[in-house]
Structure 1
């Protein structure tokens, strides 16, 4: 017996002959064997959203990274400088897991109530702490509490940072349930960003369902563009 390519297949037993006949019949019918696990088709991305987690790195970071990776998601981690300096291995773990790292100030103060010199110190020390920990030099900045003004933006510009707020607030910081966080992520549309936190167990528990919900809507987790502050395809 020959394949269509003309290659001869030795048929040493009835079992072998039956297997070959079945294989050829399946091919004729357009039936294909299951693909290896790694050969699954890539998700079709009709748009991108930005998943963001503030206030890390912390003792919760390893579990968060594991959940994100297991569900095929990437996110932007807005780290506090004081925690990056104290947990450099976790900053490196964020990068190794395919996440992006942003600046979230050094000590999380209300920046709009601070002097320009203090704002500068908060931002510059965090740039140094994250870079020193192996997280690269951040290009994105999220002001604590989402509070900003002209002075804050002027200092951001000095360090080449793009300010990133959010269009959807998960309310995880306010005790939102896992169901509520999943529902919040379900409101995301192309280009939008959601606020979550590194330390929130409920946000971590929501990750599998967030991934399922995005896939069902043809949305993928993207990076946040330093040019626009909106979610785009990973570069």
Structure 2
């Protein structure tokens, strides 16, 4: 009986809704007779272990409190597995959504053939959860730091602030870096989170967050179009060329 152990960390931004949870339940339970459990920890500290996704969705607290941790576990019945000439297979999926700490992982143990097939099925489920637009804000940590501490403050210092008529002192560039890093971190955490648990309370919170982002984006787009209209269209219409940049 060939055994294996598979551990994987899931990257990029992800959205997990009720359908995703049911897909996990269906794939894991499809291994055969065994025990399926889903343990949910709410941000008020309350933790509950259930034997199906349906029980979780029906739980009153699901609509009242946000979730910070989800653990999905399946353990195949050892007697049935060994009677079929293979080792029992177990699977664990973890999702942790806490301020400054977001982790999505899964681990498989047991029969080699069962784990290989299950890994492919779980990867397929995880691919369906990726939020491509938000993933831009959750790239590799080195590239992330280069953007927050170098590219963003340089663009602000050399182009944006002078355009607004603000002269930031050269010896204060380090302070600008810290401000950019803090603002970027807050933006990622609250406006573009890497993990959204979108069922019950989480679905309502995600909808509210999306509305705020869309409204802010709309203001930025309207402001940019207004600037273009004033600087280009009106200048051309009135025949007054735009003054050259200093």
Measured against the shorter chain, the TM-score band is: under 0.3
Q: Please identify which structure carries the higher strand content.
A: 2
Q: Please identify which structure carries the higher helix content.
A: 2
TM-score after normalising by structure 1: 0.21
TM-score after normalising by structure 2: 0.21
